[in-house]
Every structure is written in C-alpha cells, then in structure tokens.
C-alpha cells in the first residue's frame, strides 16, 4: 500500500467514529484516537518540512544515520514496539479536533506528499537534516519516514479501537 493509499485509509476510517469515540481517553497516559490522528499528522508535516529543507540546502552533509536509524531503514519501518519519547518531548496531542478538521489536515498531508513524490529523488542525497533519534536523513528518507510513521501507528489505532469497543 502506498503512503497516499495508507493515509486515504486513515481518512476513510476516521468517518466511522462518533465524536465521543474519537475523543475517548480510556486510561491515564493513553491517547484518544483523535490524539493519535493529531500526532501522526503533526509528525508528517514536520517530516515534510524537512524534505523541503533538504531541497534548499547548499552544503553536503557527510554524516549518516545512527545505528537505530540504519536498522529502521534496513527493515523499512519501525519495529513492533511502543516508543515513548522523553517527557519534555511528549506533550499530549490535541484532543479537540473534529472529524472534519482531521480530514482536512490529512488532505493537506496528502497534498504535500503528492507535491514531493515526483521530485524527492532528484534532491542531492547528501543534503541532510538531523533527526535526534535516527541521525542525518536526506529528503528521500524523510519522505519515506512519513509512511513508516503512519504504518507504525496502525497497531496503536487498532488497540485504541478495541479499548473503546469499536473493534471486537
């Protein structure tokens, strides 16, 4: 499934939740489905900002990925583990967006993906932006990371759906 098809699936499934289900927090420290959507959208936009930055750089970066970054790209996605960011980076996502807001924001992600899809491979692979966990990534890697991140959160999405009784 392509990144656009994946996001289209998120968008389509979003329409099946009631507003109560979307915003339901089942336990302290557990996100609602709406918060998870907010998170993947914010991160996708950040990653696409980095694609754009790579396209504007003029100085090559010889440093590469961390060991974890190398592993991530070697397997083509995140390992099936829960990743918790340090508290200072772990601000809970917004839980106030409507389905319409989230749909519109997903459309914006898709629009930006389409804008870069045919151009990303032409960007010098030595123009890189640093990711704190994965090391120095080029435009193609940042672009691919968008889909990897959406795929990673599918497990969380299904878990959250079970917790609110949406899936049996």
Q: Is residue 168 part of a domain?
A: no
What tokens appear for 79 in the block? 């390992």
Tell me which residue range forms the domain holding 9.
3-163
Q: What is the CATH number of the domain that holds 135?
A: 1.20.120.450
- pLDDT at residue 84, rounded to an integer: 73
The pLDDT, as a whole number, for residue 64 is: 97
Q: What is the mean pLDDT of residues 146-150?
A: 96
Share of the chain above pLDDT 90, in %: 84
Q: Domains in the chain: how many in total? A: 1
Percent of the chain scoring above 70 in pLDDT? 95
DSSP 55-92: HH--S-----B-HHHHHHHHHTS--SS-----GGG-PP
Task: Give the residue from 66, 57, 42 showing the smallest Cα distance to 125.
Answer: 57
Q: Residue 1: what pLDDT?
A: 79
pLDDT for the residue numbered 82: 77
pLDDT, averaged across the chain = 93
Q: Is residue 82 part of a domain?
A: yes
99 found inside a domain: yes
Rounded to an integer, the average pLDDT of 18-30 is 93
Q: What is the mean pLDDT of residues 120-149?
A: 97
What's the pLDDT tens digit per position in 75-125?
A: 999 888 777 766 666 678 899 999 999 999 999 999 999 999 999 999 999
Residues 115-124: tens digit of each pLDDT: 999 999 999 9
Q: Is 12 contained in some domain?
A: yes
Beta strands in the chain (DSSP E): 128-131, 135-138
Domain membership of residue 43 (yes or no) is yes
Mean pLDDT of 62-71: 97
């Amino acid at each position: 499934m392509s990144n656009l098809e994946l996001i289209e699936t998120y968008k389509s499934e979003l329409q099946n939740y009631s507003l109560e289900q979307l915003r339901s927090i089942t336990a302290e420290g557990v996100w609602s489905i709406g918060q998870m959507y907010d998170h993947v959208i914010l991160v996708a936009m950040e990653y696409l900002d980095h694609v754009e930055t790579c396209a504007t750089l003029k100085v090559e970066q010889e440093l590469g990925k961390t060991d974890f970054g190398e592993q991530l790209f070697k397997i083509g996605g995140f390992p099936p583990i829960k990743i918790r960011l340090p508290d200072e980076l772990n601000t809970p996502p917004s839980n106030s967006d409507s389905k319409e807001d989230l749909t519109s924001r997903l459309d914006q992600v898709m629009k930006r993906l389409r804008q870069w899809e045919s151009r990303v491979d032409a960007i010098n692979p030595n123009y890189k932006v640093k990711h704190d966990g994965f090391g120095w990534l080029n435009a193609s890697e940042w672009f691919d990371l968008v889909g990897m991140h959406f795929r990673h959160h599918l497990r969380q999405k299904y878990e959250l759906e079970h917790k609110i009784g949406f899936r049996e």
